[in-house]
Chains A and B, each alone.
Chain A
Amino acid sequence: GQNIDQPTEMTATEGAIVQINCTYQTSGFNGLFWYQQHAGEAPTFLSYNVLDGLEEKGRFSSFLSRSKGYSYLLLKELQMKDSASYLCAVLDSNYQLIWGAGTKLIIKP
């Protein structure tokens, strides 16, 4: 079966750094996405990784290791508005997105 695991909830402090991990087992791999979702809203695209390594985009970075079936999203200089759910999703061999359940990130002052 296809499976994507990420922590259910994480708490971090404003101004700090947090790393949200995602491990996956899917039938084929055509890339991994990270999305941010605020309560009551649709997910917003954050990043896309298809090759191993780190992709940096402002305060957010995403890392991929295909051999380990592992990715992480790194958020730096946390702001209160970063409180949201972060969804990891893998594009499988049929080019369909397999979603993780999301990690709820709580930012404290």
Chain B
Amino acid sequence: GAVVSQHPSRVICKSGTSVKIECRSLDFQATTMFWYRQFPKKSLMLMATSNEGSKATYEQGVEKDKFLINHASLTLSTLTVTSAHPEDSSFYICSARPAGREENEQFFGPGTRLTVL
């Protein structure tokens, strides 16, 4: 089956620092990857859609200068939370859509729990 990994799984950082989260599709190529954020007791919120080799498309209300997304290859996308603050503490989840698949399905990574002190 299609596997998506995220690294790190947990990160604790000081306020003002930047944190990079990696999302990798391990056994398939993903032309499109998605980044979500989960708020407590709420559903996943789509932050941005990233297509390989082009700029990410951000959802309304998501600061693109704060949440930098790079999709440099068909198997890797990165999300960098710049100048993190305590309110950025959350569970960040990526998903990947396989290229050339008939079924429109996203495979989710295990998530990264970010805690900003």
Q: Is the CB of A42 within 8 A of B43?
A: no
For residues 69 through 104 of chain A, which have their beta carbon under 8 Å from a beta carbon of chain B? 87, 91, 95-97, 99-102
For residues 17 through 49 of chain B, which have their beta carbon under 8 Å from a beta carbon of chain A? 34, 42-46, 49
Cβ of B106 under 8 Å from chain A: yes
Nearest chain-B residue to A85 (Cβ)?
A: B43
Set B42, B106, B107, B111: member contacting A97, Cβ < 8 A: B106
Which chain B residues lie closer than 8 Å to A15 at the CB level? none
Nearest chain-A residue to B109 (Cβ)?
A: A42
Interface size class of A (residues with CB under 8 A): 20 to 34
B95-110 to A contact mask, C-beta < 8 Å, 1/0: 0000000011111111
For residues 23 through 47 of chain A, which have their beta carbon under 8 Å from a beta carbon of chain B? 30-31, 33, 35, 40-45
Q: Is the CB of B111 within 8 A of A41?
A: yes
Q: Is the CB of A44 within 8 A of B108?
A: yes
Q: Is the CB of B44 within 8 A of A99?
A: yes
Which chain B residues lie closer than 8 Å to A40 at the CB level? 91, 113
Task: Tell me what chain A mostly uses at the interface: helix, strand, loop, or mixed.
Answer: loop
Nearest chain-A residue to B111 (Cβ)?
A: A42
Nearest chain A CB to B17's CB is how many angstroms away? 24
Which chain B residues lie closer than 8 Å to A60 at the CB level? none
Listed A/B pairs (21) with beta-carbon separation below 8 Å? A30-B104, A35-B108, A40-B113, A41-B110, A41-B111, A42-B93, A42-B109, A45-B106, A45-B108, A48-B103, A48-B104, A48-B105, A87-B44, A95-B104, A96-B34, A96-B49, A99-B44, A99-B45, A100-B43, A101-B43, A102-B43
A contact set with B: CB distance below 8 Å: 30-31, 33, 35, 40-45, 48, 50, 87, 91, 95-97, 99-102
Given contacts A42-B110, A45-B106, A99-B44, 12 further A-B contacts (CB under 8 A): A30-B104, A41-B110, A41-B111, A42-B93, A42-B111, A43-B93, A43-B108, A45-B105, A48-B105, A50-B104, A87-B44, A95-B104
